[in-house]
A = this chain, B = another copy of it.
Amino acid sequence: MTREQLTEHILDIKRERRLSWRQIVEAIDGLSDVLIVGALLGQMRLPEALAAKAAAFLGLTKAEELMLAEVPMRGQNSPMPPTDPLLYRFYELVMVNGPAWKELIQEEFGDGIMSAIDFDMAIERQPDPKGDRVKITMSGKFLPFKYYGAGPNVPPNGAKGA
């Protein structure tokens, strides 16, 4: 069984039982929507307790439950550049605005990156008389590039490197 087959199976169950993601997320509970849906789509893992709840709710086998709790090989099956218009717009935002983001983040924080790992995110509807808007709030830890010294590097206890 591959993770891709598990994802396809879960989508079949969702369709046949006419479940919404909302219902599934509420049944599993305990993590944000993006993480639970991401795990069911094969991009994240579910903690074991939640994988058990997911398996019970969706009627999965034990092996499927265990696979849901495994760290997947992420990013597979996402063609880049994205072919889907909804996803391409995000890609375009990075391509067009990326240089300005880099300058502004670095001027504010110094040399480093916004983590994509110690990261969280919410998606909300923002009502607007001219047409509702999608509001996305992201928060990622700033990780400064380490500029370690000229002495003996990488000591056994890592004291200097941190």
Number of copies: 10
Whole-angstrom distance between the alpha carbons of A84 and B122 in the complex?
A: 22
Q: For A58, what are the chain B residues with a Cβ–Cβ distance below 8 Å?
A: none
B85 touches A97 (CB 8 A): no
Whole-angstrom distance between the alpha carbons of A86 and B162 in the complex?
A: 19
B103 touches A37 (CB 8 A): yes
A115 touches B139 (CB 8 A): no
Q: For A146, what are the chain B residues with a Cβ–Cβ distance below 8 Å?
A: 117-120
B116 touches A92 (CB 8 A): yes
B88 touches A150 (CB 8 A): no
Minimum CB–CB distance for A156 against chain B, Å: 7
A131 touches B142 (CB 8 A): yes
A63 touches B114 (CB 8 A): no
